[in-house]
Amino acid sequence: MEAKMQKFLQPFKHLEIQLEEITSATNNFDHTNCIGGGGFGKVYKGEVSHSKGRSMAAIKRLDPRHGQGTPEFLKEITMLSDYKHENVISLLGFCCQGSEMILVYEHASRGSLDRHLNSPHLTWSQRIKICLDAANGLRYLHDPRGTHRRLVHCDVKTSNILLDEQWNGKHSVIVTIASGTPGYVDPYYEMTHTLTKESDVYSFGVVLFEVLCGTLCCTYSKGRVQQDLVPWWIESYKKKKLYDIIFKDPTIQPLDQSTLEIFSDIAYRCLNESREDRPTMDEVVIALTTALRHKEVI
């Protein structure tokens, strides 16, 4: 590690994990332990010791060939070490030895929410609770209350909401990417090319409709949107035809009308064309809390 890098990382020394520990946990980055990947490289699972103890972790091995270099690595450490919330995936540690740059995160054993949208094993109470968890996490990022820097997520979607063993929802945050994903991104972005906390609110509205309808908002072909369901969902809400689009499964109890109205109303408001007319994440949390309480007493 270069002297300059060492000096920069000195305040985060308590988060450092030795490469030997990581290679042992992943069986030298064996493909059988690979649980995902993206523009940054691959993610592996493995049990490691870290500043909070010892646990299963998600180990992100940065690949410089994919454009992720030293600046992105350092930014991830400096920013994510500040964010500590039960509904935001924690940064557990890092490794910077030789040519390796590795980030170690809390592992969510049930994977991402998008994989469970049409699952008959999730009740409506569980679905609303997951949405409330995610809303709380986003509110924390948006409203620091002096404890950390405000962060616009910039890529809110069901594949970035992870679930632990108890089905608690947690945001996965990548601080180096700020472009959003087609289907979820604020339409206003196309005109301004700026993403704001109101853009996150729009994307969260798409997430809420995905949970309500049990399906992803878009289908893609060769990286482009082939079919976008969001306009149909908005029209269905306006025409009071939500039962035409709501997720149905004979093995789970149907969602009652009053809870549906509370849930769908806040989802629709998030998708408002005007950024100024969208609710804050505080308002979203209040609405989802009401929906969950209402569902549980019915």
Angle at 35 between CA 252 and CA 216, to 5 degrees: 40
Q: Is 155 a catalytic residue?
A: yes
Catalytic: which of 133, 155, 186, 200?
155
- The ranges of the chain annotated as CATH 3.30.200.20 are 14-106
User: For position 144, what pLDDT does the model report?
Assistant: 65
What percent of the chain has pLDDT above 90? 70
pLDDT at 181: 87
Cα 155 from chain centroid? 8
Per-residue pLDDT tens digits for 176-227: 656 788 899 999 987 888 889 999 999 999 999 999 999 999 988 777 788 8
Which residues face 34 on adjacent strands? 44
Q: Which residue has the higher pLDDT, 171 or 4?
A: 171
Whether residue 58 contacts residue 43, with contact meaning beta carbons closer than 8 Å, is answered with yes
CATH of region 14-106, choose from 3.40.50.720, 3.30.830.10, 3.30.750.24, 3.30.200.20:
3.30.200.20
- pTM (2 d.p.): 0.93
CATH 1.10.510.10 domain position(s) in the chain: 113-297
What pLDDT score was predicted for residue 167? Answer: 97
- Identify the pLDDT of residue 72: 82
CA dihedral 235, 239, 245, 249 (to 10 degrees): 160
pLDDT digits (tens, 9 = 90+) for 245-293: 999 999 999 999 999 999 999 999 999 999 999 999 999 999 999 999 9
pLDDT of the residue at 36: 86
The class level of CATH for 113-297 reads mainly alpha
3-state SS of the chain? CCHHHHHHHHHHHHHECCHHHHHHHCCCCCHHHEEEEECCEEEEEEEEEECCEEEEEEEEEECHHHCCCHHHHHHHHHHHCCCCCCCECCEEEEEEECCEEEEEEECCCCCEHHHHCCCCCCCHHHHHHHHHHHHHHHHHHHCCCCCCCCCCCCCCCHHHEEECCCCCEEECCCCCCCCCCCCCCCCCHHHHCCCCHHHHHHHHHHHHHHHHHCCCCEEEECCEEEEECHHHHHHHHHCCCHHHCCCCCCCCCCCCHHHHHHHHHHHHHHCCCCHHHCCCHHHHHHHHHHHHHHHHHC
Cβ-based neighbour number of residue 271 at 10 Å: 22
Residue 112 confidence class, pLDDT cut points 50, 70, 90: very high
The more confidently predicted of residues 24 and 295 is 24
Neighbour tally for 239: CB within 10 Å? 9
Report residue 17's pLDDT band, with 50, 70 and 90 as the boundaries.
very high
pLDDT, tens digit, for every residue of 145-174?
A: 766 788 999 999 999 999 999 999 999 987
Q: Each residue of 25-83: pLDDT tens digit? A: 999 999 999 998 876 789 999 999 988 889 999 999 988 766 567 888 888 898 888 88
